[in-house]
Every structure is written in C-alpha cells, then in structure tokens.
Amino acid sequence: MNNNLIIETKHLTKRFPMGKGEFTALKGIDLTLGKGEFTGLIGPSGSGKTTLLNIIGSLDSPTEGEVIVMGSSVGIMSAKEAARLRKENLGFIFQSYNLLQVHTVYENVEFPLLLLKLSSSERRKMVHDALEWVGLTDKMKQKPPQLSGGECQRVAIARAMVKRPSLVLADEPTANLDAANSHNILQTMVKLNQDLMTTFLFATHDDKVIGYLRRKIYLKDGLVDKIETA
Amino acid sequence: MIKFLIKGLLRDRSRSLLPLIVVAIGVMLAVFMRGYINGIMVDMIEQTARFNTGHVKVMTKAYAENIDQIPNDLAIMGASELQAGLEEAFPDIKWVSRIKFGGLIDVPDDNGETRSQGPSLGIGLDLFSGSSGEIERLNLSRSLVRGTIPDTAGEILLSEEFSEKLKVSPGEEVTLIGSTMNGSMAIYNFIVSGTVRFGNTSLDRGSVIADISDVQKALDMYDSAGEILGFFPGGYYSDEKADPVMAEFNEDFVTENDEFSPVMLRLRDQEGLGLFVNLAGSMGAIVTFVFMVAMSLVLWNAGLLGGLRRYGEIGIRLAIGEEKGHVYRSMITESLMIGMAGTIIGTAFGLSLSWLLQTYGLDISEFTKNATTGIMMPNIVRARITPPDFYIGFIPGVISTVAGTMLSGIGIYKRKTSQLFKELEA
Ligand SMILES: Nc1ncnc2c1ncn2[C@@H]1O[C@H](COP(=O)(O)OP(=O)(O)OP(=O)(O)O)[C@@H](O)[C@H]1O
Ligand SMILES: [Mg+2]
C-alpha cells in the first residue's frame, strides 16, 4: 500500500432507507487521496458530496464497499475508534460554522485540545498559533455572536487546524461568505496546506473554491463523473 | 473539561436557568412541605399527649379497658405511692397524676335554685404543688381569658365558651354534680377562679379544670387517680424512648391476672395514634418522593426542549471527536451541578419559609371548628425544622435533575452519530 495514501474508497455504496424502498446516494465510488492534496468534490446539489464526506469523516458508515482512512476501515470500526480517529486526525469545517455560541473564540479553538487532554501551557501555545494563522489573535475574548460571518469561519478553520490534523474535511465552507471573505479563507487554507502539509478535501459547487483546487473530483448522481488535475 | 462545562452553564442562561429555577422551587416546596407537615403532625401528637395520652400512661387494667367511659371506680388506689415508684424507676420521665371526670356544672341563683346548667368534662391535675409543670404543659397561663389560675382549694377553671354559655363569671360559685368513686352522687361547690380558651374546639366546649386534691375530695377518691401520665424529657414522643420504659414497667409493676394491676400504654397505643405516629415518621419520605417524581417529569421535558437547542453543539462535539458517551456524561455532570446549585437555593428558601411558619405559626382555627376525633388538632399550626431538612432536598433536587437529563438525553445516546449529524446540518 502506498504510504502516502490518506483516503481510499473501494466500490463505496451508500443507500438510505426511503419510504418502503431505498435511495442510493453513492453508487460505487473508487477514489484515492494522497497526503498533502488540496482536492474538491464538485457536483450539483444531491450528487452525494456531503454523504461521501461524512463517510470519509467516519460520521456515517458505508452500506457496501470499503473506505480506508489513514489505514483504518471506516465500515468496521467501533464508535469509539471512529471518535478517536476524528479526535486525533481529522478536522471538520462546515457551511454553518457550528461554533459554540456561549464560548469565546479562544475556548472554541481550545476545545479539540481539551479532548486530547493536553496541558494548559501546550494548549495556550497551540491556540495562539492557530489564531495567528487565521489572523484573529485580537478577537480571542469575543464570542461568536459578536463576529462577522467571515471571522466565524476563520475561527472554525482555526478550530479544525489547531491540533494539526492530517486531514481536513470542508463542506461548502464558503457558502455563507461574500467573495472577499471567501478568497481570504481559501488563501489561509492554501497556506496551511503548504506550511503544515495538511490534506484538504472540500465538497463544493462554488467556482471561487474550485479555482483554488489542485484536483477536482466531479460527482454526478452518486458516481464519479470525471477527475481533473490542475 | 469541568471548567469548560461550568463556563457554558454560567453563560448559557437558557440552558441553566430554567432547570435551576425548577429545582430551586421544587426543593423549596419539598423542604417547606416537609417541615410544615412534620410540624402539623408532631403538634397534633404532642398536643394530644399533653392533654390526654401522655407519652406513656399508667392506669389499672380495668380502667384502660373501659377508658371511654372514664370509669373512676376503677381508678388507681394509692396513686401517690405508685407515682413515687415510677419516679424512682424512671427519674428522667416527668410523672403526673390526673383524674378525668364527667359531670354537670350547675350555677345557682341567690336562692340556691338552678340558674343555668351544662354537662362538662373535667380534668383534675396538680396545680398547687408548683413542681408538676402542669400549668406550663397545658399552657394555662397563656390560655387564660379572665381571672386567675386556681391557687387555693375549692377553685375551678372553666373554658371561656362554657362560662359564657352558663353566664357565670370569675368569683361566682358553681356546683359540680357527679358521681363518687363508689357510685353515689357527688355534689361539690367550687368558686370560678378564671376562664381559659385553648383554641381547640373539643376542649373549649365544656371543659373544667381543678386541682386534683379538690377533685379527689369531690369524688371521694382519696389518694386515687385515674391516670398517671409520663412525659419524656425533650418533649417529643418516639417509640425508641417508649419501648424500653414499657418493657421495664411490665417487668416490675404489672401483676398478672389482677384487673386492678397497673398497665402502661404508649402514646401510640391510645386514641388510634399509632397510625398517626407511623405516618408522621414516613411523611418526610412521602413528600420527598412525590416532589422528586414531579420534578423529574418537568426536568425531563425541559431537558428535551433544551436538548433540541443543543443539537448543534452536540453534533460539533461529536465531529471534533468526543465520544457519545462522554457527551452524555458531561450533560449529566452539568445537570448534577445545576441540581446542587438549585438544591442549595431551594433549601435556603424552603428553610426560611419553614422558619417563618415555625416562629409565627398559622391560625387554622376556621378549619378545625368541628373536629371530634381523639387526636387534637392545634388551632395554630407551626412548621417544625428538623436536621434532615437541611440535606433532604438534595435527594429530590439532584436525583430529579440527573434523572431528567438521563431521560431526555437518552435520545442522544441511542441515535446513530450520523443521524445526530444530519440534525445538526439541518
Ligand atoms: N439520511 C438520509 N436519508 C435519506 N436520503 C438521504 C439522506 N442523506 C442524504 N440523502 C440523499 O442523498 C442524496 C445526496 O445527498 P448529499 O447531502 O450527499 O448531497 P450533496 O451533494 O451534499 O448536496 P448539496 O450540494 O445540496 O449539499 C440526496 O438526494 C439526499 O436527499
Ligand atoms: Mg451537501
């Protein structure tokens, strides 16, 4: 097996129960993703982007086929193992930021480190670094309701990045942002991808995002339509 | 992590305030109700003990069997000797002899003809010796409406209501018409020294009180007493105190097969008070349990509503890699903190209310006007704070918050991570 491989899917199929029958959201996906990639899943609404991303993120499991993330098979791992995979190796960024509203920027970014049981001095150093990457060191004590959408998404990026995960999964990260903010956070992510060798996998249909991708995986009706490499 | 949870609780009022208020109110009511009900029941028991049953009571077997008829022909003879024996055997207990009697009180006019007349229920007790404590026990000084408490032979107290009915005032003469110990008619003149109101309907109707020496003279009961009552130090009845006394008494004082042998009855053996004593003992548990269930239901629902609001938070915590069990346990930890805080607040308020009711009392005489049971209902109810009131609130307070959270959070636990996640995205 290729040591550089971070994600590998083999004939990945996902069916959801629907009424009496079933709905097949993913119809046999074969993909590989290597370390350090900056890649996107592109496709119209309903093409299965989020479904695929969630399975790769071990938030959901495949119906058939196999998904191997950093050497472990998502389909057969226990809930505990899945939580551990997420805790140690994965970062998530969502369209709707999903910040903890009553906690400060600092505390939001610190949270993943609490789960890793790091000492407070380690945490402080890492949170400061992460906030520096996204340019929010001056808003540390503020809470999400006092921030703009762009700032919120940058907090979410800092939270995903703070533990320096191997893989970041970003589902429509720019959908709620204007053009300037979109470019801003994309540039931040490109920089982190280069500096930390973090692998990024996006799900998107936003042209601004697509412009930054080095590899584009087009999905259509639950199947890989085509793959383009820049 | 705990710090993180506490911050969340302190800042997210909607998460903590509603359950906190529910717990505080619930605990306050539970603590207060407990003190209140406890107070009423203990008051009723003690009031009955003071006027009627004692904490323990010694009578002859035959008297005890016919106690409803007040059979003074079956009274204890040589009462002072028996009382002295009791005082020696049980020096901690206060022993007093009493005679209960029934009879007519007749008020004569200037010519000696009957002006008015009414049936009365009398108690002869030790008013003169100064050491019996009976005046305080029956609260006579404070119950006095007119006149004075008898302090010389031949004086009698009437209940105020009775004196009004008979139209007789302190200083005037009344005649007791009753029956002597050996069955002949007894006629004895008293001077009314004063009137009393006990605030207890049955007592206020037709009571008369005189010194036991007068009653003995009037009824030809020389050195006899119907009943010798024992009162525990500390002033409260309990089986634990009564049982060993009764056991020792039965050993040393009782003669088998002699119907004039003395017997001892505990308070719980008289006037159907046994059930009441049992009830008073378990009331605290019943009240606590009822509030616990009610609060659990409220908090369950509050938790369900609150949980909906927190799907976003829960989803993101799962995504970041927290285990479901850990999220669930952290919510329980939160509820534990809320439960503790709410209990402390609620207990403080509940105790304050109980304290007010213990200190000032509440007049419920309107509701007890027609009471006819052997159990005496005091007209002023008071709460009674006992040591458990300080910590008992933690049982309903903490258990209900934790139970409420466990029930409402079980959905989180049962649902698949992917499903929770869908709800987060929605
Ligand atoms: N839990 C579910 N139950 C039933 N059907 C589902 C479920 N989740 C997703 N689907 C269906 O699977 C298909 C793919 O959904 P998915 O969310 O992956 O699309 P997407 O590419 O992310 O779309 P969008 O761009 O709108 O986010 C859709 O038709 C959706 O209705
Ligand atoms: Mg999607």
pLDDT for res B11 = 85
Q: What is the mean pLDDT of chain A?
A: 94
Of the bound ligands, which one is closest to the alpha carbon of residue A21?
1
CB distance A217 to ligand 1 below 6 Å:
no
Alpha carbon of A47 to ligand 2 centroid (Å)? 8
Q: Would you write out chain B's pLDDT as a tens digit for each of its 426 residues?
A: 888 888 888 888 877 888 899 889 999 998 888 888 888 888 888 888 999 999 999 999 999 999 989 999 999 999 999 999 999 999 999 999 999 999 999 999 888 888 999 999 999 999 998 889 999 999 888 889 999 999 999 999 999 999 999 999 999 999 999 999 888 999 999 999 999 988 777 788 889 999 999 999 999 999 999 999 999 998 889 899 999 999 999 888 888 888 899 999 999 999 888 888 888 888 878 888 888 888 888 888 877 777 777 777 888 888 999 998 898 899 899 889 999 999 999 999 999 998 888 888 777 666 655 544 455 666 677 788 888 888 888 888 888 888 888 888 887 777 766 666 666 655
Residues A221 and A13: their CA atoms lie apart, in Å, by: 12
Alpha-carbon gap: B291 to the closest alpha carbon of chain A (Å) = 32
CB distance A222 to ligand 1 below 6 Å:
no
pTM for this prediction: 0.73
* A84–B321 CB contact, under 8 Å: yes
A137-154: average pLDDT: 94
Residues A157 and B292: their CA atoms lie apart, in Å, by: 45
- A106: domain CATH number? 3.40.50.300
A27-31, A207-211, B202-206, B247-251: least confident range: B202-206
Please report the ipTM that was assigned to this predicted complex: 0.90
CB distance A45 to ligand 1 below 6 Å:
yes
Q: Are A9 and A69 in contact (CB under 8 A)?
A: no
Q: What is the pLDDT of residues A195-206, one digit of tens each?
A: 999 999 999 999
Residues A211 and B250: their CA atoms lie apart, in Å, by: 103
- Which atom of ligand 1 is nearest to A222's Cα? 14
Among B10, B9, B31, B121, which Cα is nearest to B72's?
B121
Residues B4 and A110: their CA atoms lie apart, in Å, by: 10
> What is the tally of structural domains in chain A?
1
Alpha carbon of A94 to ligand 2 centroid (Å)? 10
Q: Can you give the residue range of the structural domain that contains A69?
A: 5-229
- Which atom of ligand 1 is nearest to A48's Cα? 18
What are the strands, taking DSSP E only, across B370-423? 380-381
Nearest CA to ligand 1 atom 31: A46
Q: Which chain B residues are closer than 8 Å to A63 by Cβ?
A: none
Size of interface A-B (CB pairs under 8 A): 71
* B11–A103 CB contact, under 8 Å: yes
Residues B258 and B256: their CA atoms lie apart, in Å, by: 6
* B7–A96 CB contact, under 8 Å: no
Q: What is the pLDDT of residues B205-237, one digit of tens each?
A: 889 999 999 999 999 999 999 999 999 998 889
Q: Does A69 touch chain B (CB under 8 A)?
A: no
Among B95, B92, B88, which Cα is nearest to B58's?
B95
Based on the number of CB atoms within 10 Å of its own CB, is A158 exposed (0-12), middle (13-18) or buried (19 or more)?
A: buried
Query: What is the DSSP code (8-state) at residue A41?
Result: E
Nearest CA to ligand 1 atom 29: A46
